[in-house]
Chains A and B, each alone.
Chain A
Amino acid sequence: MRTRLRWPALAAAAVLLVAGCGSEGDGSSDERNAPAATTGCASSGELTMWERSGGNKQMVDMLVEAWNAKNADCRIKLTYIPHTEMVGKIAQGIASGEVPDLMGMDLIYAPQFEKAQQLVDLTGRIKDWPELKTASKGHMTVATYEEKLYGVPLYADVSALFYNKDLFERAGLDPAKPPTSLPQLREYADKITALGGDVKGYYLPGNCAGCNIFTVGPLMWASGATIEAKDKGDEPLVGDGVKQVLQFTRDMVKAGNVHDGDRTENGETFHLQFGSGKVGMMGTGNFNITLAREQNPKMKFGVALLPGMTPGSSASFIGGDLVVVPRGSERVADAVNVMKFLLSDEVQVEVYAKALNLTTRSDMVDNRYFQAEPLVQDVAKALEVGRTPYTLTFFEQINSPQGPWLKMLQRAYYSDDPIDTIIADAKKAMKDIAGQS
């Protein structure tokens, strides 16, 4: 019985040891002889690809379709994995050797997998690509670990401040002048809430860690603070901006500027909120442009940058997915070709931009589709002031529904605990988590 129990563990350990040895890995041994990447097939046969659900599914479907239209010989067969289970699924896949040929992954989890040597090192194959010079810097930061490259952007989401021009007008505000600082935002929110009815000036998601890092995190960045603890010993939540923003949100809630129901928002109906027409201003993402139009075609709205405490300050969260290659994949060359395809001029314009999604290369922002759509251009500006958090424990620190980030915000929004205590508690918890990584 003992041998039986030990064997699979030994086998797993052996596989991982061998895999971790670097020089034996799939990527690096033929890096020097790697063929130049093309946007076609490197070998024939179906490519299996995983992608998390809950992301920009339409975008990914379109990209896969575009690839399949051009490369019938190595079509991609896409499987969506429920996003809450993605990390576990990948780990299981790698441990059992049943990995897809390539996969899309929420970019903030990349560092964790890179550190654990679970992604194929692609540096030799892609580092000289000119496209990477202008690829989303948020994505490329998290795609890099210890100077090695592991992937390229699959799609980009960016957060911004959406505001309802109709409500602005009704409240006597100038619809061409969105707020440029948090105190000004508060002023405007008060005026809009005063309109009464079921209308509120602002929105704060109460039960969704990810929504908050996406839309409230940038408020702190814009106010000069930092949030995550990168690694062991790092100090999280540094800067007065943290306290100021928490106070700002608490005051917002107390002033009655948000709907009661916001408190239950767990991310699943976040995308429906702005389009309801009942919210004056809301931090949300570029995807909300087409969504709001579909939901509420008559509503006039604008897009601005998320502000900080001081006028003119702004920041944004660059999110989205990376495309990476899991260790054990047998079609690395093909995967790399897919990456080249995604970054190619034609795909950037005719697939990304045409669908009014952000191009993952900043030099492709000036295209005919965007020129016809001022809102998308506004949102694309957010890329310039945007950043992506880098930490090996993003999920436990920030994205987890039970983590210290959401807890801190919930206490700030809905309780009367002293803000300094709230911040101190969160700092301690985040530091502990980072220390265990």
Chain B
Amino acid sequence: MGVAAKPVEAAVYRSRRAGLVGLAYLAPALAFVLVFTVYPLGRMMWMSLHNWSLLTPPVYVGFDNYERVFRDRQFWVSFLFTLKYTALITPVLIVGGYLLALLTAHNSPLRKVTRTVVFVPVVIGLGVSSLLWYWLFSADFGLVNRALVDLGVVSGPVLWLGVDADTSNFAISASVVWKVIGFGMILFVGAIQAVPTEITEATLVDGAGYWQRVTRVILPLTLRTVLLVTLLSVIGSLLAFDQFYIMTAGQPQNETATSVFYVYLNSFPYLKLGYGAALSMVLAVTILAFTVVQLLLARRSEV
């Protein structure tokens, strides 16, 4: 939305009255958000200052819960594991997605079909995908081990899920990459196709090779999208829950319990609602900080 627009704009969109009209259009959504997002958020902040187990009345404890968060070993275990997971999966998603986009950016029929197929896992729901891979990675009942054994790669079943944090991380990351890589790919395809053909033609004339063209021309011109996808990916990974809940249930010993999983544990089975709320707030602030940092970096790179 450019600033250097026509000096005179239709009164409908510029008058003082326009502000009120706009407000009227915004009102339903605004009201909805106030009631169903802002109020529960406020309620949650209030909860974080109390100890509440649902079966007994809430007890005010001030900032106790917050203090406990930082002293809580499990909080750090979860946080570090979440970071590990994010650090593992983000590059794979970005680089892989970008490569797939380069592969399918042309609008030939085969590539369009490939694009469609790669995107199919995106639409099926994370819970279902996690269940599917939970089956595939099952030590005794899953096809991955059966295939590995048949191919002679391993001699016995690999214990993918719930025994070792790193192996579980790998398996879960693989399943999530399968599921979401199409999303990044599509966004990248859009950005690559938006690069004006004159520019790419120009480099051809200069005799540039394919990869040179990619790194010197296409990549810089699509950087904004890359940063956007990275940002979305990082936020999504920091908030990861479903896949861990379904595939390892945090095992072994809560080592694969991501931060949000720990929030869930406190809010539901442990019945420590106040503490769960405090964890949520701390997480939200952390992610906000990450986001701000990323946006600042992005802005700098745009110059």
Q: Which residues of A contact B55 (CB under 8 A)?
A: 16, 91, 94-95, 113, 116, 118
Q: Which residues of A contact B95 (CB under 8 A)?
A: none
Chain A 1-14, CB within 8 Å of chain B: the 1/0 string?
10011000100110
Tell whether B162 is near chain A: CB-to-CB under 8 Å: yes
B133 nearest CB across to chain A (Å):
14
How many A-B residue pairs have C-beta atoms within 8 angstroms? Tell me: 83
Chain A 77-101, CB within 8 Å of chain B: the 1/0 string?
0000000110110011011000000
B112 nearest CB across to chain A (Å):
41
Could you tell me if B268 and A88 are in contact, using CB atoms closer than 8 angstroms?
yes
Report B107-156 residues with CB < 8 Å from chain A CB.
138-141, 156
For chain A, the bracket of interface size reads 35 or more
**Nearest chain-A residue to B58 (Cβ)?**
A9
Partner of B42, one of A5, A17, A91, A92: A5
Q: Which residues of B contact A400 (CB under 8 A)?
A: 269
For chain B, the bracket of interface size reads 20 to 34
A425 nearest CB across to chain B (Å):
12
One of A219-227, A258-266, A314-322, A360-368 contacting the partner: A258-266
Could you tell me if A402 and B253 are in contact, using CB atoms closer than 8 angstroms?
yes
- Given A13-B57, A116-B55, A5–B43 Cβ distance below 8 Å? yes
Could you tell me if B56 and A266 are in contact, using CB atoms closer than 8 angstroms?
no
Could you tell me if B157 and A5 are in contact, using CB atoms closer than 8 angstroms?
no
Chain B 244-256, CB within 8 Å of chain A: the 1/0 string?
0000011111100
Report B138-187 residues with CB < 8 Å from chain A CB.
138-141, 156-157, 159-163
Could you tell me if A269 and B54 are in contact, using CB atoms closer than 8 angstroms?
no
Q: Which residues of B contact A263 (CB under 8 A)?
A: 139, 159, 163
Tell whether B76 is near chain A: CB-to-CB under 8 Å: no
Could you tell me if B53 and A91 are in contact, using CB atoms closer than 8 angstroms?
yes
Q: Which residues of B contact A407 (CB under 8 A)?
A: 253
Chain A 234-264, CB within 8 Å of chain B: the 1/0 string?
0000000000000000000000000011011
The 4 A-B pairs of least Cβ separation, nearest first, read A13-B57, A91-B54, A88-B268, A116-B55
A260-B157, A264-B160 known; 13 new pairs, CB 8 Å cut-off, are A4-B39, A5-B43, A9-B58, A85-B269, A91-B271, A95-B54, A116-B55, A116-B56, A207-B163, A261-B157, A264-B138, A269-B141, A401-B250
Q: List 28 A-B contacts (CB under 8 A).
A: A5-B46, A9-B58, A13-B58, A16-B55, A84-B269, A88-B271, A91-B53, A91-B55, A91-B271, A206-B163, A207-B163, A260-B157, A260-B159, A261-B159, A263-B139, A264-B139, A264-B140, A264-B159, A264-B162, A264-B163, A266-B162, A266-B249, A266-B251, A269-B140, A269-B141, A402-B251, A402-B253, A402-B257
- State the B residues within 8 Å of A (CB): 39, 42-43, 46, 53-58, 138-141, 156-157, 159-163, 249-254, 257, 265, 267-271
